[in-house]
Amino acid sequence: MKLFFRKYGNGPTIIIVHGLYGASDNWAGIAKKLSNHFEVYALDQRNHGRSPHSPEHSYNQMKNDLLDFMDDQQIQTSILLGHSMGGKTVIHFATSYPERVNGLIVIDIAPKSYLIESKVGQRSIDHKTIIEALKRIDLKKVKTRADADLQLKQDIHSEKVRQFLLKNLHRNKDLSFSWSLNLTALEHNLSDILEGIDQKRFEKGNLVTGFPVLFIRGANSPYIQDDDIPLIKKIFPVADLVTIKDAGHWLHVEQPELLVETINKFFIE
């Protein structure tokens, strides 16, 4: 699959992989700041943004989409930066193709399964509710984004979350609206998206080393708990963990300057 991408700057390569409901344009501000020191590629993953749709949406496919992208762009090795679902994509990639990685940045996601948390609805976002809410919007009645927001408000009360989700609403040439997200594929594959990495792969000393690893979490986010650190260390024994203050799950929106500063400090200074 040929992924859509945006490119910025020159220098050592960083590839940015967004999370669920995200896209490369959500990371444009971060990419531009990082481009002062790096050559930055920001991707749209399958079923998101301007990349192709597919009924299949698993981490095995997404890691291989990333491999195909690197091969197409003749990128032999790169620092990989992934947020949320994109964080799991780069974890799967790094554990399968470590020879193609010279640095790993995982933002606000752990390698564990989030299926239980999603069902409980306390420690993480209820993605099933979000997808169902987006699918309930009657796009035939949407003339402006405000119309869509009014419908979505019935199910999603957070204005910040609604604004983020509605970035995926695309205006067509005939002025009608459609989703850039493949909501059907995401709904059908949601269990796989929330699932964790197979921990059995790392039980006999099959550790991943050879490049620096940085996990970054938001201080106000529930996605990486202290009791997740042993699993992170089990896979990446040299991993560092940094917590960014006054930030939730979307650190790149809430604390962009601190996020860029943290990345630059780890890989440059």
Q: Average the pLDDT over 2-21 and give the result.
A: 97
Average pLDDT, the chain: 93
State mean pLDDT over 217-224: 95
Which of 51, 84, 118, 124 is catalytic? The answer is 84
Closest CA to 1 of 98, 91, 68: 68
The CATH architecture that domain 5-112+196-267 belongs to is: 3-Layer(aba) Sandwich (3.40)
Question: What average pLDDT score do residues 30-47 get?
Answer: 97
Query: Which of 86-95, 102-111, 165-174, 201-210 shows the lowest per-residue confidence on average (mean pLDDT)?
Result: 201-210
Q: Which of 18, 48, 249, 252 is catalytic?
A: 249
In the chain, what's the furthest Cα-to-Cα distance? 58
Is 84 a catalytic site residue? Answer: yes
The pair of structure tokens assigned to 119 is 């069902």
* pLDDT at residue 196, as a whole number: 94
Pull the structure tokens for residue 171.
């205006």
Question: What does the DSSP assignment read for 24-54?
Answer: GGGGHHHHHHHTTTSEEEEEPPTTSTTSPP-
Q: Is 180 a catalytic residue?
A: no
What is the reported pTM?
0.94
Domain coordinates in residue numbering, the chain: 5-112+196-267, 118-190
Contact between 264 and 37 under an 8 Å Cβ cutoff? The reply is yes
Q: What is the pLDDT of residues 157-207, one digit of tens each?
A: 888 889 999 999 999 999 899 999 999 999 999 999 999 999 888 887 778
Whether 119 shows a pLDDT value over 50: the answer reads: no
